Amino acid sequence: MKEVTYRAYENNQNGYARHAPAFSERLNVPTNWLLRGGPLPDTEPPEPPPPGEFGTPEILADTYNIELVRQVDISYAMGDGAIVEDYPETGFMPFQRDFLRSVTRSPISRLFLATVHGESMEPTLLRSDMVLIDAAQNRVAQQDQIWALTYAGAGMIKRLRRVRGESGDKYLILSDNPSVPAQEAEYEDVHIVGKVVWIARRM
């Protein structure tokens, strides 16, 4: 820019106000200051707080009474699917401790979240519903409850009914969708990961 052009802008001879936002962005100063003058405000970004100033995650959780619950992909097991650690972790979600205690009394470390895949549990569970699973509950004490389980190498969320067969105990793996037939499975072939204790749905 020529000096005479610059002076014209400073003297507001070239419609300076109209160009002020572009100048302020290029110079990294507030538009207000360019138009009105005065002391130059501090434009340096604030220094980040030193590590630990706000406390550890545990202290934060205690301060705000929250817990971070793991999210996993139950559709894919890296082992036999018998334990939560077999599934890849996809993130965390905060929950109020009091809410979790109203849902289950199991340790927080035994809870995890998973997303429903497929349509076999409609209309009870819809595709993309989120379910909270209690891995401390892994024994079928009540019939027809909803469980996270693996069978034949696949992770799934289904109802389970324990039945007595000629060769011993078996499971009926039941879907709420009437178009999906029940499956009969040998007792030892079904790995129960945990009980579904809560669901969330996007409206």
Query: Residue 185: which CATH number?
Result: 2.10.109.10
Do 98 and 68 share a structural domain? yes
Q: Could you tell me if residue 44 is inside a domain?
A: no
Q: How do strand 111-115 and strand 66-72 relate by DSSP bridges?
A: parallel
Do 183 and 93 share a structural domain? yes
**What is the tens place of the pLDDT at every residue in 86-109?**
677 788 889 999 999 999 999 988
Q: Could you tell me if residue 52 is inside a domain?
A: no
Do 114 and 27 share a structural domain? no
Do 181 and 141 share a structural domain? yes
**What is the tens place of the pLDDT at every residue in 1-23?**
667 776 777 776 656 666 777 77
Q: Could you tell me if residue 169 is inside a domain?
A: yes
The two tokens of residue 148 are 């996270």
Neighbour-count burial for 41-71, b at 16+ CB within 10 Å, e otherwise: eeeeeeeeeeeeeeeeeeeebeeeebbebbb
Do 163 and 108 share a structural domain? yes
Do 22 and 66 share a structural domain? no
On whether the CB atoms of residues 72 and 132 are closer than 8 A, the answer is: no
Q: Could you tell me if residue 48 is inside a domain?
A: no
The Cα 150–Cα 103 span in angstroms is 24
On whether the CB atoms of residues 36 and 24 are closer than 8 A, the answer is: no
What domain range is 11 assigned to? 3-36
Do 24 and 106 share a structural domain? no
Residues in contact with 39: Cβ distance below 8 Å, sequence separation at least 6, in sequence order: none
Q: At what angle are helices 16-27 and 3-10 packed, to 10 degrees?
A: 110
> SS3 sequence, 150-191?
EECCEEEEEEEEEEEECCEEEEEEECCCCCCCCEEEEHHHEE
Q: Could you tell me if residue 127 is inside a domain?
A: yes
Considering its fold, how many domains does the chain have in total? 2
Considering the entire predicted model, what is its pTM?
0.65
Q: What is the pLDDT of residue 109?
A: 87
The Cα 97–Cα 103 span in angstroms is 10
Q: Could you tell me if residue 41 is inside a domain?
A: no
Do 109 and 176 share a structural domain? yes
**What is the tens place of the pLDDT at every residue in 139-188?**
888 899 999 988 887 888 999 999 987 777 899 999 999 999 999 999 88
Residue 5 DSSP SS3:
helix
